[in-house]
Amino acid sequence: MANVVLCSEMEHGPRALLRLASCATELRSKGHSVRLVCNDLGLAHRTDAFDKVPVFQAPQILVSDKARQRRLVNHASILLSKGFANRENLVPAVRGWLHLFAISDADLVMTDAAPTATLAAKLLMIPCVMMGMGYTVPPKKAPLPSLVPWTANTMKKDEADALLHAEDEPLLVEVNAAVKALNFNNVSFKSAQELFSHADHWVTSLAEIDHYGKRDAKYVVRWSDKHQAPDPKWPALEGDKVFVQMSTESPHLEAVVNQLAKRGAPTLMVIPDASEKLIARTNIPNIRLQREPVNLKKVTEQCRVVITNCEHNVLYDVLLAGTPCILLPDTHENTVLAYRVARRKLGFPGPAKADKLNLDQLIEKATTNDQVWANTSRVALKYQNHESLQRIHDLIAEKLPE
Indicate if the alpha-carbon torsion angle 272, 274, 275, 279 is positive or negative.
negative
pLDDT at residue number 10? 86
For residue 130, give the amino acid letter: M
Q: Which residues of the chain have pLDDT under 70?
A: 12-14, 223-228, 385-397, 399-402
3-state helix, strand, coil in the chain (%, to 5): 45, 15, 40
**Amino acid 341: pLDDT:** 96
Q: How far apart are CA 38 and CA 13, in angstroms?
A: 11
In this prediction, residue 151 carries a pLDDT of 87
Domains and CATH numbers, the chain: 3-223 (3.40.50), 230-384 (3.40.50.2000)
pLDDT score, position 298: 93
- Residue 358 corresponds to which amino acid? N
**Amino acid of residue 224:** S
Round to whole Å and give the CA distance between 70 and 55. Answer: 32
pLDDT of residue 389: 44
Listed residue (166, 137, 119) closest to 75, CA to CA: 137
**∠ at Cα 7 (56, 164), nearest 5°?**
135
Summarize pLDDT for 347-362 with one digit per residue, the tens.
Answer: 999 999 999 999 999 9
Confidence (pTM): 0.90
Among candidate residues 351, 313, 357, 320, the one with its CA nearest the CA of residue 335: 351
Task: Give the pLDDT score at 220.
Answer: 82
| Model pLDDT, residue 160 | 87
pLDDT tens string 113-159: 999 999 999 999 999 999 998 999 999 999 999 999 998 778 888 88
Question: For residue 146, what is the DSSP state?
Answer: B
